[in-house]
């Protein structure tokens, strides 16, 4: 396999950094004085204030459920297969008959369904691939966690009754 040389030549100003340090400080100073005298705010008082995100924003995943609270997922593995980050892990099992009381017959169900959000790049491929409209990306952007384990969303965490994108 060949290699790509990504090295490049730096100018003297780039080598001694000084020019760029001063340039950065001047930008900060400009922002500081504009905020002070012109009341231009570059930050918001989160969480009291929130930014408006685009309707196309892709946030935390969820698995939609039907009126019977049964997840629409049929454990077909399409989302897991298409995921470029390989962050979806599904274990399938047969769905008991009493879980098919509403709607279309679903032969299989996920015994477990995990998404590792630390690996996910929120491309939305899983949502596009799903034939059951089961996995969706919400507009929820509050996904901070304290440990790596908490970033793995399981089925209980993912199941949600929704209208639209939620
Ligand atoms: S949004 Fe993309 S990277 Fe994230 S789970 Fe879905 S397919 Fe994988
Ligand atoms: S979420 Fe959709 S694509 Fe993924 S396994 Fe379930 S039914 Fe298949």
Q: Which atom in ligand 1 lies closest to the alpha carbon of residue 137?
A: 1
Q: Report pTM.
A: 0.75
Blockwise average pLDDT, block size 10, the chain, 166 residues: 80 86 95 90 88 91 87 94 97 87 78 96 96 92 92 92 58
pLDDT of residue 166: 46
CA dihedral 163, 127, 113, 146 (to 10 degrees): -80
Q: For residue 90, how far is its CA from the centre of ligand 2 (angstroms)?
A: 9
Would the CB of 124 count as within 6 Å of ligand 1? yes
Q: For residue 87, how far is its CA from the centre of ligand 1 (angstroms)?
A: 7
pLDDT of residue 1: 61
Q: Which residues contact 100 (CB under 8 A, 6 or more apart)?
A: 70, 106
Would the CB of 115 count as within 6 Å of ligand 1? yes
pLDDT of residue 61: 95
Would the CB of 123 count as within 6 Å of ligand 1? yes
d(CA 64, CA 134): 5
Q: Are 66 and 102 in contact (CB under 8 A)?
A: yes
Alpha carbon nearest to ligand 1 atom 4, residue:
120
Would the CB of 82 count as within 6 Å of ligand 2? no
């Amino acid at each position: 396999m060949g290699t790509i040389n990504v090295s490049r030549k730096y100018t003297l100003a780039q080598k001694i950094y000084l020019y760029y340090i001063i340039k950065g400080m001047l930008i900060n100073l400009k922002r500081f004085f504009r905020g002070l005298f012109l009341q231009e705010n570059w930050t918001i008082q989160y969480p009291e204030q929130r930014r408006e995100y685009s309707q196309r924003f892709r946030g935390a995943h969820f698995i939609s459920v039907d009126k019977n609270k049964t997840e629409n997922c049929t454990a077909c593995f399409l989302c897991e297969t298409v995921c470029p980050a390989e962050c979806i892990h599904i274990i399938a099992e047969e769905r008991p008959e009493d879980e098919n009381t509403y709607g279309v017959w679903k032969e299989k169900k996920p015994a477990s369904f995990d998404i590792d959000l630390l690996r996910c790049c929120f491309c939305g491929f899983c949502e596009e691939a799903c034939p059951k409209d089961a996995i969706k990306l919400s507009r929820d952007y509050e996904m901070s966690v304290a440990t790596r384990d908490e970033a793995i969303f399981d089925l209980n965490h993912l199941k949600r009754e929704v209208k639209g994108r939620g």
